[in-house]
């Protein structure tokens, strides 16, 4: 892709993001009017489609068919749920805040395998490196334990710590380490801190992102059950069918 075409693609992506933010503001107003008692289904219905508008899977993306998903759940589970996310993505944050913890609990109970894939759609379209940098930090957390990875991811997507997509806070290692202090296994963990500051898992993050790019994902969050894309609003019912208590 030529430099001119790349710049034009980024300009178009920024315009799509501007339009999407206006749409999201309208959805937020509707949500305040319609959501009673924090209905998970209602929240996920509003999440649907937000990420698709920001996806710009151009020809210049590095791709890979290598499987680098972070997997939790029962080894003998028959069902598999794949979740594709961008750590700067506001729709992903809404998704995680509404059902992420429940989704992880179902995996921890052995009801299915849960596979997490991380991409950099917003970095690519808006500039910055927060998505990639946070993915590298999550790689360092995974080296501590899978539990540390899942708990850290939950904190990064939380209302308390997740920034607006135009605010590239995750590019700042100090901020990432501030968030990691909320995870017991990572707090005051000098080995983890050194790994974050040295970008030790930058190569792992690069391979993870290339794998994400090769998966044919058009936006985030994307959820696949046994390889089939589903609407995020359908996920609560899918989980109930698998015996998960969705409140």
Asked if the structure places residue 247 within a domain, the reply is no
Q: How many CB atoms lie within 10 A of CB 116?
A: 22
pLDDT digits (tens, 9 = 90+) for 173-183: 999 999 999 99
Asked if the structure places residue 147 within a domain, the reply is yes
208: domain range? 3-241
Asked if the structure places residue 173 within a domain, the reply is yes
Asked if the structure places residue 65 within a domain, the reply is yes
Asked if the structure places residue 236 within a domain, the reply is yes
Asked if the structure places residue 101 within a domain, the reply is yes
In the prediction, which pLDDT does 110 show? 95
Angle, alpha carbons 91-94-95 (nearest 5°): 85
Q: What is the pTM of this model?
A: 0.80
* Domains contained in the chain, number: 1
In the prediction, which pLDDT does 66 show? 85
For 148, the token pair is 């540390």
Nearest Cα to 247, choosing from 123, 106, 124, 121? 106
Question: What does DSSP say about strands 113-119 and 80-86: parallel, antiparallel, or unpaired?
Answer: parallel
Asked if the structure places residue 73 within a domain, the reply is yes
- The H or E element spanning position 230 is strand 228-230
User: d(Cα 64, Cα 62) in Å, to the nearest integer?
Assistant: 7
In the prediction, which pLDDT does 61 show? 76
**Domain containing residue 185: CATH number:** 3.40.30.10
In the prediction, which pLDDT does 39 show? 46
Asked if the structure places residue 246 within a domain, the reply is no
In the prediction, which pLDDT does 75 show? 82
Tens of pLDDT, residue by residue, the chain (247 residues): 555 566 676 677 677 766 666 655 544 543 443 333 344 444 454 454 444 435 554 556 788 888 899 999 988 899 999 999 999 999 999 999 999 999 999 999 999 999 999 999 999 989 999 999 999 999 999 999 999 999 999 999 999 999 988 899 999 999 999 999 999 999 999 999 999 999 999 999 999 999 999 999 989 999 999 999 999 999 999 999 999 988 7
For 181, the token pair is 């202090």
Q: How many CB atoms lie within 10 A of CB 66?
A: 10
In the prediction, which pLDDT does 104 show? 96
């Amino acid at each position: 892709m030529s430099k001119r075409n790349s710049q034009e693609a980024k300009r178009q992506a920024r315009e799509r993001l501007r339009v999407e933010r206006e749409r999201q503001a309208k959805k937020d107003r509707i949500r305040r009017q319609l959501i009673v008692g924090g209905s998970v289904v209602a929240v996920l219905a509003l999440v649907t489609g937000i990420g698709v508008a920001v996806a710009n899977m151009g020809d210049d993306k590095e791709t890979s068919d290598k499987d680098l998903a972070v997997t939790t759940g029962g080894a003998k589970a028959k069902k598999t749920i794949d979740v594709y996310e961008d750590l700067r993505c506001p729709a992903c944050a809404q998704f995680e805040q509404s059902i992420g913890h429940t989704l992880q609990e179902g995996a921890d109970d052995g009801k299915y395998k849960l596979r997490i894939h991380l991409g950099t759609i917003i970095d690519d379209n808006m500039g910055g490196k927060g998505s990639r940098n946070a993915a590298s930090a999550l790689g360092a957390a995974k080296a501590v334990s899978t539990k540390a990875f899942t708990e850290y991811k939950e904190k990064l997507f939380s209302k308390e710590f997740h920034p607006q997509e135009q605010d590239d806070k995750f590019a700042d290692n100090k901020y990432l380490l501030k968030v990691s202090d909320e995870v017991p296994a990572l707090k005051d963990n000098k080995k983890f801190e050194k790994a974050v500051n040295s970008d030790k898992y930058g190569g792992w993050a690069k391979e993870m992102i290339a794998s994400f790019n090769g998966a044919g994902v058009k936006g985030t969050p994307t959820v696949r059950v046994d390889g089939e894309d589903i609407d995020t609003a359908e996920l609560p019912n899918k989980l109930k069918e698998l015996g998960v208590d969705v409140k």
